[in-house]
A and B are shown apart, each in its own frame.
Chain A
Amino acid sequence: MKSIIAFVSILLMFVLVIPANAGGKEELQKHFKNIANKVKATENATEKREILNESFQKMSKALNTLESTGMISDKDQVGIDGLKATMQENQDELAGKNGFERVSDNQLNNFSDYVVQNMEQAEMITISLVSLLLIIILVVLLV
């Protein structure tokens, strides 16, 4: 009987949790907002750069890991490619590579806002909810 109760409870918990998470892109936005908050809370420019760079690398790694599972649809692949390109451009601009002017130390807070606002404007409707949630989970898990 206890196992039935446990099963029913877990099942209901899953059912109830799904609507609460029905917004993968929102989670992605919140992730980048947290990064921006961390950047702003740090005084040292080198540390700000490290936080940003690490977040871009982590995101790229998560996207690569997701791709390597082979479970991505063609439609999701287009969205993931777009997100990867954006991460690469952010990384290049931060470091001043590939034709980008390096983001100056006194502009790092604004740059972190730019990353968030760019994400807010991006129409990533080509990435399914499941893939977006997987990306977030991978970003959290990958250290």
Chain B
Amino acid sequence: MQILHNRFVKNRNYVLLFVSIGFAMLTLILSSCSANIPVQQVSQNPVDSLLEIKYSIIFIIHGNGDYLYFDNSGNQIEADEVTLTEAIRIALQNPYAEVFIFHQKPTQHFLFFFSLKDGEFYYYRNGKLIANELYWRDQEKSNLDFEVAAYHRYRKVTPNKLINIFLYFGHEIPEFGGAGYDESYSERTFTIDDLANELKGFTSDFSKFDLTILGSCFGGTPYTINKLGSYSNTIIASPENLHLSYFDLHSFEQLDINLKDSDVHSFANKIARESFEKLTKNVQTEVSVVVYDVEKIQPFINCVYDNYNSTLISLKGMTQENLATIEHCDCADIPAYQISTINNGVNIFYRPARFGRSKNKLNHSGWKCWKY
């Protein structure tokens, strides 16, 4: 009887062990699986629509980092997911547009060892989803090869002059170094030069983007704007911190009305003004949205570029610890930048933070520098 009891106890222990491991494995599988939709090629060779294409829009949405914020109702928001939803809405509501959306996501693993693809691409044309696929992002230096290749693979070739628009959403893009931009790849680097190279890849068939929107913190520096300006006629960026609720893209939903006369510069000013209104209504921190007319800002850039570049060279030689103590400042606070052309070609929407040391700052030059 005792033997039977011992066997029963022993068997019960084994059962418990297997149930425990089984439960843990199941949890592991469920937690490591991606909740994303599976890979799907909606159509490799879409039948050409009768509707002409007037607008070509590219979204790059970086989501491999901390993008959490709370809205005014206290809801927890992931900035990249909200931006993706908005980009898809824009794609669906514009029958005369083609829209490329690249969502750069964190690395996820299946059973700890098997990496899952960390990018998702959507291509919409005439308001319809044409392609949707998961892809591998560059694992080392960020050349953004897939993004550029996918754009050239799918884009509509047309003799019409298109309005080309590029939008980037993410954290501040470093002007040098760039390691650690992606939370999943500490060694991987991404800099503004990499983004500029990507723009070069996109624009190989046309001269420049009509409009580039840089939805990141500290985008309005002479170096960054000059780099992006090589491939864009008009740029919207924030020279200060930009809250993760980003810009207001509502006007993109009806391009046929808002860009009816093809006046991109006026459209850019409308987007900037609406973004400013949205941000000032919702955040207590500093708000700065600036429209840069690339042609008109050239005299200023030409005067200050060497100075700014030499600051960057000095900063490159610093350790990460020392670098973290160097702050940004309004370029107008530095004598070398106080030149007559500083306000040329910039349309500035600025409101200081409601609290903090700079709450009484009334104006901003629209340009961000390093306090070094």
Give the B-binding residues of A (Cβ under 8 A). 1-2, 4-5, 8-9, 12-13, 15-16, 19-20, 23, 25-26, 29-30, 33, 37, 74-75, 77-79, 82, 89, 93, 100-101, 103, 107, 110-111, 113-114, 116-118, 120-121, 123, 125-126
Total interface residues in chain B, CB < 8 Å: 39
**B residues whose Cβ falls under 8 Å from a Cβ of A:** 10, 13-14, 16-17, 20-21, 24, 27-28, 31-32, 66, 68-70, 74, 76, 171-172, 180, 217, 241-244, 283-285, 320-321, 324-325, 353-357, 359
Min CB gap A48→B, angstroms: 14
Residue of B14, B70, B283, B357 touching A89 (CB-CB under 8 A)? B357
Q: Compute how far the CA of A113 lies from the CA of B172 in the bound complex, rounded to whole angstroms.
A: 22
Complex Cα distance A77/B321, Å? Answer: 8
CB distance from B113 to the nearest CB of A (A): 13
CB-CB under 8 A for A110 and B20, given A19-B31, A25-B66, A78-B324: no
Majority secondary structure, A binding face: helix
Closest residue to A103 on the B side, CB-wise? Answer: B355
CB atoms of B321 and A78 under 8 A apart: yes
Give the distance in Å from the alpha carbon of A9 to the alpha carbon of B19 in the complex.
Answer: 10
Contact A93 B356 (CB under 8 A): yes
Given contacts A33-B74, A117-B283, contact A110 B354 (CB under 8 A): yes
Find out whether the CB atom of B324 lies under 8 angstroms from the CB atom of A1: no
Q: Is the CB of A1 within 8 A of B10?
A: yes
Instruction: Kindly state the separation between the CA atoms of A117 and B324 in the bound complex, as whole angstroms.
Output: 20
Contacts of A89 in B (CB 8 A): 356-357
A93 to B294, CA, bound (A): 40
Given the interface pairs A16-B31, A75-B321, the reply to whether A114 lies near B21 with Cβ below 8 Å is no
Residues of chain B contacted by A107 (CB below 8 angstroms): 354-355
User: Which of B28, B76, B356 has the most chain A CB atoms inside 10 A of its CB?
Assistant: B356
How many angstroms from the CA of A37 to the CA of B116 in the assembled complex? 38
Least Cβ distance of A127 to chain B in Å? 10
The CA of A37 and the CA of B70, in the complex, are separated in Å by 11
Residues A120 and B321 in contact, CB atoms below 8 Å apart: no
Within 8 Å by CB of B241, from A5, A74, A121, lies A121
Q: Which residues of the partner chain A approach B285 to less than 8 Å between Cβ atoms?
A: 114, 117-118, 121
Partner of A82 from the list B27, B324, B357 (CB cut-off 8 Å) is B324
Q: Closest residue to A9 on the B side, CB-wise?
A: B20
Residue numbers in A under 8 Å from B283 (CB-CB): 113, 117
Taking A78-B325, A121-B285, A126-B321 as given, write out 7 further A-B residue pairs in contact, using a Cβ cutoff of 8 Å, ordered by the A residue number: A12-B21, A16-B27, A33-B74, A110-B284, A111-B284, A114-B353, A120-B243
Query: Can you pick out 12 interface pairs between chain A and chain B where the beta carbons lie within 8 Å of each other?
Result: A1-B13, A1-B14, A5-B13, A8-B20, A16-B27, A16-B31, A25-B68, A110-B284, A111-B284, A116-B70, A118-B285, A121-B242
